[in-house]
Structure 1
């Protein structure tokens, strides 16, 4: 079982809100305040996207949902009470020292499915890639926090400055082909807003968590409609079949790609009753919300790692 702290704070009940798709007017924030806000939202399971020390579209969407969960108007602005809360995040940054075990998760990753199929695990492409995902951060932000250093050649024993967020620990993710049912979650619903590019986890018509997504593409859009979860796998093996990806038809020409953080579907596969479609992680967290996928719903690995233990087979998924 994955040993990740799941933070679903006890927030007041609120009626499920329908959020608009317009961007929230950005407040003027310095880097430390923006980072505190991103950490605060992330640790309340309202994902702001990758931590980068800046206000962004997903920060605004996460803040709106968090405010609604607290019974407030979803203004997307920082009031005095929230300002006081985020100021309690101290220090804003911390240090992390790479271990020998960490370096076992770093290796060369071929660019083709044929090449990846020859690996035992699809690892992080670099130690910077490892550290960035561990701390939910944009690699460029990690570089910014470590000025004057060459982070391309990090090794065991090197210490880097990182955002002080609860780390995603890849080493605790076990390969489980079928997670056991969780009957207590059967009435929960996942709502995927493909225009806002947000996934909301709801319980009794209340949003309890929300994360940024990439929802398919124009040529292969996410499957609009109501579906059910029929399989939940951690550390999945991925069957890469170009015909299936492009035309939703299986062929005899495919590659079996082993598990790992840079597997094309990341660390989690949540299969839907719509054949071939699912909710899953990613091998490229920088693209979440900013590019296309092959009809599926993609989340950052650190977000799907929290989502996966708050759902169950049979749950309803609404995509619109």
Structure 2
């Protein structure tokens, strides 16, 4: 059993130590916690590149006599704006979202001496007219020959073909080769074929009324002399005319 004298000395030592501690911290420093306790962990994981999540205090306000609590949720670091992808290909005209309204098929007044069923192509204004009864015509937008490839004349449709194949004329092959463009000797019919969905051949010439794999060119002078139409339009015209139909290009 500890003697009373020894016990008293021990108690005095403890009290003295506490007194010294109290003197050292006469005003104890406050305990400060980070507003975001996860920040140190985030900084360890990502270094200075990571922006910590910041929390804000909820705000209390009164509305219509009732207390409601509006919470401000986590504010995150701003994300980069999404990148846009251009639909423009180098060396190719801009792809339009839709054909200009005047080049869509429509029934119009048309004063002509040509018989119903005749096709009249106005290359200057880029329109093809299928003459109907009663001074009317069904009008379509077309693409026509580029400068140096314009022509005019009257022919008849001598052949019709669905999803025609394409054999580039030798003159075209040579002309494009001089520009560094090498055309295939032959291309099967299909969506990638420049003749499109239908073709109507004019007389014994190399010219045709045909579809296209580049619908954004309708309304322009871009072809090597052929009359091109949107695929849906050439299919419509194809079903309305027969072999022997008179075609006037002017």
TM-score by length of 2: 0.51
Alpha-carbon distance in 2 for matches of 1:193, 1:310: 19
1:116-151 Cα offsets, whole Å, 9 max, x none, are xxxxxxxxxxxxxxxxxxxxxxxxxxxxxxxxxxxx
Corresponding residue pairs, total:
145
1:6-27 Cα offsets, whole Å, 9 max, x none, are xxxxxxxxxxxxxxxxxxxxxx
Residue 207 of structure 1: how far off its partner (Å): 3.4
Alpha-carbon distance in 1 for matches of 2:158, 2:147: 25
Which aligned pairs between 1:1-320 and structure 2 lie closer than 5 A? 52=98, 58-60=100-102, 66=107, 68=109, 188-204=117-133, 206-221=135-150, 223-244=151-172, 255-320=185-250
Helix, strand or coil at the partner of 1:283? coil
Contact kept, 8 Å, 1:237 with 1:258, in 2: the verdict is: yes
Residue 288 of structure 1: how far off its partner (Å): 1.1
Contact kept, 8 Å, 1:241 with 1:254, in 2: the verdict is: no
Runs of 4+ in 1 over 6 A off after TM superposition: none
Residue 255 of structure 1: how far off its partner (Å): 1.0
Contact kept, 8 Å, 1:246 with 1:294, in 2: the verdict is: no
Contact kept, 8 Å, 2:116 with 2:130, in 1: the verdict is: no
Q: 1:188 to 1:67 in 2, by over 3 A?
A: closer
Contact kept, 8 Å, 2:147 with 2:221, in 1: the verdict is: no
Aligned counterpart, 2:82: none
5+ long unaligned stretches in structure 1: 1-49, 70-185, 248-252
CA RMSD of aligned residues (A): 3.0
Helix, strand or coil at the partner of 1:218? coil
Higher Rg: 2
Alpha-carbon distance in 1 for matches of 2:227, 2:202: 11
1:265-309 Cα offsets, whole Å, 9 max, x none, are 111110001510110000100111134101000001011011100
Alpha-carbon distance in 2 for matches of 1:225, 1:205: 25
Alpha-carbon distance in 1 for matches of 2:142, 2:174: 20
Contact kept, 8 Å, 1:189 with 1:316, in 2: the verdict is: yes
5+ long unaligned stretches in structure 2: 1-95, 176-182
Q: Per chain length, whose mean CA-contact separation is higher, i.e. which structure has more relative contact order (CA < 8 Å, sep 6+)?
A: 1
Residue 256 of structure 1: how far off its partner (Å): 1.1
TM-score by length of 1: 0.40
